[in-house]
């Protein structure tokens, strides 16, 4: 069995998320292809510290982001340290990722995005992401049984970090979700948003958001996570305290959530679901 498959099995055994498994496999395969192309095609156990440094330097020359560089290094570290038991890797320093504030839409821009979507299913997907602050990977894996429509919340099962958490269901979207489920004949075990082969793909959602932002004429670079950033910022503006927002977002540290405090407009007060207040003011 080759290094990639050994690593995959070990990642699965340790309950890493499918997304992490796929990312690590991609990175290690890319490294092995680089080795082959640069006359370093050798037995994995003979890989040296200099090989790793040369590969990371090559990535730097290609202009990859520091976060991408660190992902490759984490993947290689896991493969060599956890699978091959090569301990030299732990001494390599990681690249510093420059801190930057996330892109956030104003409420007016969110409304423009909503109005640019004609497909009812796509519209519901985008509005649910904004109203609940869901990650795109969490949204596509929602099952009907995860929604407590009468109680106004839903469950993310084994989200980021393999944690379950509760998410908010806005009053203005519960009835629409209920009708969508009934009209599509969905049962408790069914995916809420089905694709051709199982649940909807994250790529499809990315395309929906991208096309809507272009049609809406938004100058900002908008992707599904922009809706999550906007949800968090608008919650802070609506008066939610940072601890409650941290819980809704599923952040391990309140420091991660604090960035939205700095981005919120201080003049907006009152506590309301951002989607519901947006409906009252704009829709």
Does the annotation mark 225 as catalytic?
Answer: yes
Assess contact for 254 and 241: CB atoms under 8 A: no
Which of 30, 115, 121, 160 is catalytic? The answer is 160
3 state SS of 220 = coil
Catalytic residue, chosen from 86, 112, 122, 228, is: 228
Q: Are the CB atoms for 270 and 238 separated by under 8 Å?
A: yes
260 catalytic per annotation? yes
Q: Rounded to an integer, what distance in angstroms lies between the CA atom of residue 151 and that of residue 147? A: 9
Catalytic residue check, 160: yes
Cβ count near 29 (within 10 Å): 15
Instruction: Give burial (CB, 10 Å; 0-12/13-18/19+) of 180.
Output: middle
Q: Which residue in the list 77, 112, 127, 251 is annotated as catalytic?
A: 251
Q: Which of 24, 55, 260, 275 is catalytic?
A: 260
Q: Pick the catalytic residue: 135, 165, 229, 234?
A: 135
> What's the rounded Cα separation, in Å, for the pair 165 and 74?
27
Active site residues: 135, 160, 225, 228, 251, 260
């Amino acid at each position: 069995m080759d290094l990639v498959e050994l690593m995959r099995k070990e990642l699965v055994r340790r309950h890493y998320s499918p997304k992490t498994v796929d990312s690590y496999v991609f990175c290690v395969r890319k490294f092995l292809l680089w080795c082959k192309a640069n006359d370093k095609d050798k037995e994995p156990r003979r890989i040296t510290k200099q090989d790793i440094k040369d590969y990371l330097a090559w990535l730097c020359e290609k202009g990859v982001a520091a976060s991408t560089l660190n992902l490759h290094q984490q993947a290689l570290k896991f493969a060599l340290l956890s699978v091959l038991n090569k301990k030299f890797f732990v001494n390599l320093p990681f690249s510093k990722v420059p801190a930057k504030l996330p892109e956030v839409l104003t409420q007016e821009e969110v409304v423009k995005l909503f109005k640019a979507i004609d497909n009812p299913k796509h519209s519901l997907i985008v509005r649910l992401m904004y109203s609940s602050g869901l990650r795109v990977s969490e949204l596509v894996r929602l099952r009907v049984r995860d929604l407590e429509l009468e109680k106004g919340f839903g469950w993310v099962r084994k989200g980021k970090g393999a944690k379950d958490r509760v998410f908010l269901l806005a009053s203005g979207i519960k009835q629409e979700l209920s009708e969508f489920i009934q009209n599509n004949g969905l049962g408790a075990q069914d995916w809420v948003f089905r694709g051709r082969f199982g649940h909807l793909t994250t790529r499809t959602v990315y395309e929906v958001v991208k096309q809507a932002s272009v049609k809406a004429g938004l100058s900002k670079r908008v992707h599904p996570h922009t809706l999550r950033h906007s949800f968090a910022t608008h919650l802070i503006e609506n008066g939610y305290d940072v601890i409650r927002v941290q819980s809704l977002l599923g952040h391990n540290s309140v420091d991660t959530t604090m960035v939205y405090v700095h981005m919120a407009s201080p003049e907006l007060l009152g506590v309301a679901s951002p989607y519901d207040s947006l409906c009252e003011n704009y829709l």
